[in-house]
Amino acid sequence: MTYEKTYDGRGSNMDIRQLQYYKEIVKQKNISKAAKVLNIAQPPLSQLLKELEKELGTTLIHRYRQKWELTESGHLLYKYAEQTLNQMEEIKRRIREIEEGKGGTVRIGVSSACSNILTKYIANFRERFPQIKLNIILGDSEGLLKKLKQKEIDLAFLLKPTQAELYDMKRLKKEHAVLIVPRRWAKFLSAHPTLKEIAPYPFIMLGAMEGYFFHDNILKAFEKNDVKPNIVIECKDVPMVVSLVNREIGISIIPRMHYKSLLFESIQLYTLKQFDLSVEPVIMKLKDRSLSKAAKQFWELVT
């Protein structure tokens, strides 16, 4: 029979069985009583104590006729045994919870454009599985796809890429793009701004990302209307773009995604009527990858 081994820091390997037996000997203050509790014969238990002392090179218990006394080394080993055995039980409990889908951690990547969507699912998941930890990783859609491919995250909420053969995907509600403008600038624009009208304004462009056409489609829309945007900044992070517009650095076109932010109190949103530029948020996972029970439960929660 093999037992889990533990290292005592002096080059000596003790197994969990030895620690369990030693702890019971000390607890009962008598080898005969300990043997009965452990349901084993007394001689092997006495031998185990001798082997422990020999292995550690010390006396653990002074044995007198009517009295036992733990040595300082004996006290130290008892505390170590208690700690190690408690840790082992905790590990077993946590593994059991993971296997049953009652514990563990789900690593979820989310793009800034989809963060509002994720929060709704997190609230539902936490209500149903309060013992499961969620590790949220923020990033742009391009970077999150790489993390998903490299198995650094279990699931990802992001904008639907053009190439998705390696992934399973659940499509969420499609959203249209909107024009965002500093509220103080709105008085200079018509109720339904055209691309020609906004072309002279400093434009903050969502940066190009591999596998996504949002950037290119905006440029094509301007080109179709025989104008060019006055691009002053390119940035892949939607909240940063919103923050820059809020500071009156420029205007931008972003996926709507129903943002809720104090920054939007100083920003005017316009629906673009000249062209239909929309994005599709999705939740994705690697195909043929075995997810933990906890991650599967989150995936199944999303509809």
Q: What CATH number is associated with residue 69? A: 1.10.10.10
Kindly state the DSSP code that residue 80 receives in the 8-state scheme.
Answer: H
Closest CA to 197 of 213, 179, 212, 211: 179
CA geometry: angle 114, 116, 120, nearest 5 deg: 115
Return the closest-CA partner of residue 20 out of 86, 68, 75: 86
**DSSP-assigned letter for residue 183:** G
CA 235 – CA 112 distance, rounded (Å):
12
Closest of 82, 80, 67 to residue 24, by C-alpha = 82
Strand partners, 68: 63
The verdict on 241 and 185 lying in the same domain is yes
Q: What is the DSSP letter of 113?
A: G
Strand order in the sheet with 281-286: 133-138, 105-110, 155-159, 281-286, 167-171
Boundary-marking domain end, from 75, 100, 125: 100
Task: Give the integer Cα–Cα distance in Å for 252 and 233.
Answer: 10
Name the percent of the chain lying above pLDDT 70: 89
Q: pLDDT for 59-107, tens place per residue?
A: 988 877 777 788 999 899 999 998 888 888 777 766 776 676 666 889 9
User: Quick one: tokens of 294?
Assistant: 């906890």
Does 198 lie in the same domain as 228?
A: yes
Q: What's 185's domain CATH number?
A: 3.40.190.10
Quick one: 212 and 256 in the same domain? yes
Q: Supply the pTM of this predicted model.
A: 0.60
**C-alpha–C-alpha distance, residues 25 and 22, integer Å:** 5
What's the pLDDT score for residue 13?
58
Domain boundary among 47, 69, 100: 100
Whether residue 219 has pLDDT greater than 80? yes
The DSSP 8-state label assigned to residue 251 in this structure reads: B
The dihedral sign for the CA sequence 40, 41, 46, 47:
negative
- Among 97-101, 203-207, 208-212, 275-279, top mean pLDDT goes to 203-207
Residue 124 shares a structural domain with residue 243: no
Same domain, 197 and 249: yes
- Domain ranges, residue 125: 105-172+281-301
Average pLDDT over residues 163-178: 87
Query: 229 with 254, same domain?
Result: yes
Give the model's pLDDT for residue 257.
Answer: 66
- Whether residue 274 sits in one domain with residue 285: no
Q: Are residues 235 and 183 in the same domain?
A: yes
At 140 the pLDDT is 85
Final residue in a domain of this structure, among 47, 70, 100: 100
Q: H-helix or E-strand containing 268?
A: strand 267-271
**What stretches of 208-255 show up as alpha helix (H) in DSSP?**
214-224, 238-246
146/72 same-domain check: no
Q: Are 106 and 154 in contact (CB under 8 A)?
A: yes
- What's the pLDDT at 116? 80
User: For the residues 272-300, what does the mean pLDDT come to?
Assistant: 85
Give, for 240, the enclosing helix (H) or strand (E): helix 238-246
Q: What residue has token string 């301007």?
A: 222
The total number of structural domains in the chain stands at: 3
In 3D space, the residue among 81, 78, 73, 14 whose CA is nearest the CA of residue 48 turns out to be: 14
